[in-house]
Structures are given as structure tokens and as C-alpha cells.
Amino acid sequence: MNQLYKDILNNLHEESNLEPLHLNSRVLLIDSMNTFLRSFAMIPAINPQGNHVGGLVGFLKSLGYVIKLIRPTRVILVFDGQGNITNRRNTYADYKANREIKRITNFNVFSTLEEESDSIATQMLRLLDYLKALPVNISIIDKIEADDTIAYLSQKLKDDVIIYSADQDFLQLVNDRITVYSPIKKKFYKPNDVYEQYGLHPYNFITMKCLMGDKSDNLPGVKGLGPKKLMKFFPEIAGKKRFTLQEAYQKATDKVEEHGIYGNVHLFKKQLEVNYELMSLEDIELLEHDKKELDNLIKSSPYNFNKKRFLEMYEKDLLGRGIPNTEFWLSEVFSYLQKYKNK
């Protein structure tokens, strides 16, 4: 018997001795508002009544795709809570202030911004109805961004977690247990993947983000410090050891006379502290009642799978061929999730 077959048999033997999978063995956390808005903006689907349904259909198809890809034991769909940026704006008034209220679609379905906004709200509410007919969990907590909920859950869960999001901020959480899947790049990010793309380990990702800032959140970075200069003046960030923001600042303070970049970092201390408070997803600080709600979610069971209710809504909404072979799709994607139970 050659070595390949020996290895296969040994692996099979080891797997047979493993504990059976339970509800939280491999949890898929979905950044749901991010996913919904991308679907809404990209898919110009119209039902026979002339209503745009791209956000609804696109989200459900994305959900089916990633479940089939990952085969999780549990799916938790995380949405931003109402007033979700309030807490961060209390820290930094200009947080996300650069995000103008403007249309996100470029097709001729909506005449005005108001029409588009109404459709977003209508489809979002209807999407929640569909999701409650599936064997999944939903998390929406007032004044809490989905990022914080996902970060808390991923660190609180004990087994494997896959975060589905186009937001690169989640890369700071990647470790041997937590993986990020980018739907835009269609790529899994494990620690080696983060290093391969960014030249640093996930635990130093937050230091890079704080020093360079984040234009999408309107958080400024150190003047004159781009990716190349970051590696030149702070090569420690690419090392195997954690290189904290405090260590970067201390180095800049010690070398402030050597180069203007170090001087810029030294003068940027207050904003660096703000950036860290707003961008760090490690050790998320939540109110006790919010923590309790999420802890209870981990212990709870998903919704009951109500295929009949899902199909009734699908027919009523005239979604037609939006999801081909809908009944078969439902069974193929979601039925297996019902077998997993909490420990």
C-alpha cells in the first residue's frame, strides 16, 4: 500500500473519532446590510408589477451560494441596528460624514432618490420575512454596527467562524479559527492569505489601518504615509511579532528628529487614538444587556424551516425565475441545517 492511501486511511480513521458536529461547530456570520446593498445596487431585477426586487433576489441567491460553498452548521445574519453610527460619532463627529446621501443604482428603475430609498426600506423589511422562514438566526441591535456584532460573536464562539463580507476591516480578526470570505474577490482569507496580499500578519492589520486611515469612514491617516513608506519606516509591522500602535508611536517619538514621517506620526497621536477606538474590532465594548442578547443568541436555536411560507411569499411577490427551481433550491441549500443542535 503506497503512502498516499495510508494517509487517506489514517485521515478517515481520525475523522471517525471526532466528536459529531454541533450547531456552533462552523458558524457563518454574514455582514447582511453590506450584502443587501451590493445586491440592490447591482441587480436591476423587476417583477411583473414593475417593482424593483434586485436587493431581495440578489441577497437570497448570495445566501444560497455561500451556504453551498461553506456548508456551515449555523448561519447568523447580522444587520446594522437603528442609529448604528451614533456611538462612533460621539467619539469622532466626522465619522462617515463623507458618505453623501445619494443614489446607489445607475439603472433607470427609479426616478428619484426618494423612490430608491423607499424601495430599499420595502425590500429590507420583506427580506426579513423571508429569512424568518429559513433555519437561520438574525441579529439586529439598536445603535450597534454589524461590524461590532460580528466581531463580538466571532470572538465569543469557540469553534470555526467564517465571516462573509466585502469589508476588509474584518481581516484584523483572522486567525487559525476565524476566516474571512470576500464576495467581491471570491477569496478566503486565512492568516497566510492576509500576509500574502498585505505583507503583514492579521494582528498587525489594525496598526496599519490606524496609521494610514480609512477614507471610506472619513478617518484621516498620517500625512505622507502610504503603503511603501509604512513598510520603510516601520518594518516591524511585517514581522511575526505583534507590533502595536503604541509601539509605532513610541518609535516615532524616539526618532522624531530623523525624518519628517516620524514627526508627522508624533504629531498625530490624538487622531491615532481616535482611529484605534473607531476601527479596532478586538475586545469590542458593548453594553451588558447587548452582550447578554448576543450570548443568548449563541445558545438559542435557529428559526424553524417553513418552506411552505417561503414559497407563498415568493409567489405573492411575483419573483418568478429570480431563483430558478425555487422549491428544489430551498431543499438543497437549507434542509441539512436542521440537523445541527446545540451542545
Q: Is residue 10 part of a domain?
A: no
313: cell is: 411569499
116 and 182 co-located in one domain = yes
CATH code, domain with 273: 1.10.150.20
Q: Which helix (H) or strand (E) holds 311?
A: helix 307-316
Q: Are residue 37 and residue 123 in the same domain, yes or no?
A: yes
Sequence-distant (≥ 6) Cβ neighbours of residue 170 within 8 angstroms: 31, 147, 150, 151, 163, 180, 281
How many domains does one find in the chain? 2
Same domain for 29 and 172: yes
Q: What is the arithmetic mean of pLDDT over 65-83?
A: 94
Residue 150 inside a domain? The answer is yes
Whether residue 27 lies inside any domain: the answer is: yes
Do 192 and 155 touch, CB atoms closer than 8 A? no
Give the amino acid at 38: R
Together in a domain, 92 and 214: no
Q: How far apart are the C-alpha atoms of 52 and 8, rounded to whole Å?
A: 50
Name 264's Cβ contacts closer than 8 Å, sequence gap at least 6. 222, 223, 224, 225
- For residue 31, tell me if it sits in a domain: yes
Helix (H, G, I), strand (E, B) or coil at 262: helix
What mean pLDDT is predicted for residues 291-314?
96
Least confident segment among 81-95, 96-110, 171-185: 81-95
Roughly what angle, to the nearest 10 degrees, separates helices 307-316 and 326-334? 140
Q: What is the pLDDT of residue 106?
A: 81
Q: Are residues 177 and 318 in the same domain?
A: yes
Going by their DSSP bridges, the two strands 26-31 and 178-182 should be labelled as: unpaired
Q: In this predicted structure, what is the pLDDT of residue 103?
A: 75
Average pLDDT over residues 31-43: 95
Please check whether residues 184 and 206 belong to one and the same domain: no
User: Are 34 and 142 part of one and the same domain?
Assistant: yes
pLDDT at residue 70 is higher than 90: yes
Residue 140 has pLDDT above 90, yes or no: yes
In angstroms, the Cα distances linking 330 to 135, 185, 311, 319, 325 are 11, 26, 9, 14, 9
CATH of the domain at 64: 3.40.50.1010
Same domain? For 150 and 69 the reply is yes
Q: Is residue 44 one of the residues assigned to a domain?
A: yes
Q: Is 234 a member of any domain?
A: yes
Average pLDDT over residues 265-287: 89
Q: What is the CA radius of gyration of the chain?
A: 23
Please determine, for residue 78, whether its predicted confidence score (pLDDT) is greater than 60. yes
182 and 88 fall within a common domain: yes
Residue 89 C-alpha cell reads as 460619532
Same domain as 142, residue 226: no
Whether residue 340 lies inside any domain: the answer is no
- The pLDDT of residue 342 is 85
* Residue ranges making up the domain that contains 264: 202-279
pLDDT score, position 48: 94
pLDDT at 173: 97
Above 60 in pLDDT, residue 2? no
How would residue 101 be classed by pLDDT, with cut points 50, 70 and 90?
A: low
CA distance 333 to 337: 8
pLDDT score at 12: 45
Average pLDDT over residues 217-225: 87
Q: How far apart are alpha carbons 265 and 6 in whole angstroms?
A: 56
260 and 165 in a common domain = no
CA pair distance 55, 195, nearest whole angstrom: 34
pLDDT at 91 > cutoff 80: no
Q: How far apart are the first and last CA of the chain?
A: 39
Average per-residue pLDDT for the chain: 89
Answer yes or no: do 85 and 209 share one domain: no
**Residue 6 resides in a domain:** no
DSSP state letters, 49-106: TS-B-HHHHHHHHHHHHHHHHH--SEEEEEEPPTTTTHHHHHH-TTTTTT--------
